[in-house]
Structure 1
């Protein structure tokens, strides 16, 4: 994640990367299975976490995702996000704030694109190992250490930029989008998916049931889909095509958190799962948002 505090994530089970087993990755439609949960029987995780709305994500072993994730289920978010995009084989795609590069592997394998897997906190060498072990199908994924405000790319280099569970940590600055858009060709797409809210917290008081978490700075990075739409449209560099919230997104968020808490190996976690905000809220305020725009 491209963020100042990579060690905490409000409302999520924080999972840290571990060294994989030696089992080879599958090709084509086979399930990628490089990691195994020592506390779950084979198939248990897949049964619980295979959702009909995410058929592409179902091809990836949940234990592999769980062992390397840093927030909500990244492949679910990426599959939802790319459902509103126009990705074609051979495109150059920047995965900004890729974390442990799971989403970069997904993009390369599923769409045959050439991904620059950019993150500030995860070493490129570690991500390169994960990319090699998982394989990228017809695409490629090249890890790079990048700070979101210092993008070392030529003007118009990318056909698309995606960001999952990262953009809200730096993109709430209304001046940021033009910095990013410079790297995207005219007509290319910029897209992000992240935790958000159903109500604009700048206009409404924080509900009492969430007040214990309002002291966390991360809480205030959560914005409504319409807030993102207004902010992006005011930038003058993009045309917003999609800005919405995931229906029942909080349920998927909670399912993932609880599964991580139940089945993750102790050495995979850096602390207890923090699902309390989601449980307390039950979808009244917290949700998952996405925004997709085309470069003017």
Structure 2
């Protein structure tokens, strides 16, 4: 598929900022649902101001970090365990953001930063891999200044279910989907610590459609249309699956 065709498949009026970025750049760096779209959806409700220091935890190939730095004039520490910093630095330099995006290799439980260093913390498509631990938000939030915001967005459920998976999703279910949770679950999970005040906990409106559009474009580009994740999203049609968005403020 040529790049122009891919750009057409990835047109989405919901994400006007992301429309300025190459579809090829996004697809080639993909590690799950479109991180640039998710970053734009998160920042609709999470204000970022020029000059802020922001941690992007679980940044993957740093697409979200590049987007946030370019769009909001912030400095971003792009932290990931699996993608090497030199790979991400190459993408940062190509984007003209050397000195504003700092790639770091870090494990989520051993972050190499001073407490209170960041004005804001974000995690896009990754927090559920490490943040379901009852104690994690207490560790993570300490890297934000008092009053600083913490924002996450990732795959999630409409509600909590006594038994997983729902019958219509049995053919597609993977064991690690057990880390997907509802907005209400995340609100309780964070607020019970008393360390943060949750300002937003919602399902991104029609987030499942964005997720499906992205998967279908990636599948067509790879020459393997109709792969299992797209089939799952079609079968579910938003009943159970979507994108969960949570924004909180660190208490002083």
Give TM-score, length-normalised by structure 2: 0.94
Q: Is residue 124 of structure 2 the alignment partner of residue 164 of structure 1?
A: yes
Aligned to 1:212, the other structure's residue is in SS state coil
**For residues 1-296 of structure 1, what are the structure 2 equivalents within 5 Å?**
39-40=1-2, 42-136=3-97, 140-201=100-161, 203-214=162-173, 216-264=174-222, 274-296=229-251
CA contact (8 A) 2:168 2:236 kept: yes
CA 1:221–1:125: 2 relative to 1, 3 Å:
same
CA 1:177–1:247: 2 relative to 1, 3 Å:
same
RMSD of aligned alpha carbons: 1.6
Residue ranges of structure 1 left out of the alignment (5+ in a row) = 1-38, 267-271
CA contact (8 A) 1:160 1:190 kept: yes
Provide the rounded CA distance (Å) in 1 between the counterparts of 2:78 and 2:202.
25
Provide the rounded CA distance (Å) in 1 between the counterparts of 2:159 and 2:250.
27
- Deviating beyond 3 angstroms after TM superposition, the runs of 4 or more aligned structure 1 residues are none
Provide the rounded CA distance (Å) in 2 between the counterparts of 1:273 and 1:49.
20
Deviation at 1:248, TM superposition (A): 1.5
In the alignment of these two chains, the number of paired residues is: 249
Residue ranges of structure 2 left out of the alignment (5+ in a row) = none
CA contact (8 A) 2:159 2:184 kept: no
Provide the rounded CA distance (Å) in 2 between the counterparts of 1:60 and 1:280.
30
More contact order relative to length (CA 8 Å, sep ≥ 6): 1
Give TM-score, length-normalised by structure 1: 0.81
Provide the rounded CA distance (Å) in 2 between the counterparts of 1:97 and 1:180.
12
User: C-alpha offsets along residues 225-246 of structure 1, whole Å, 9 cap, x if unaligned?
Assistant: 1100111101211100101001
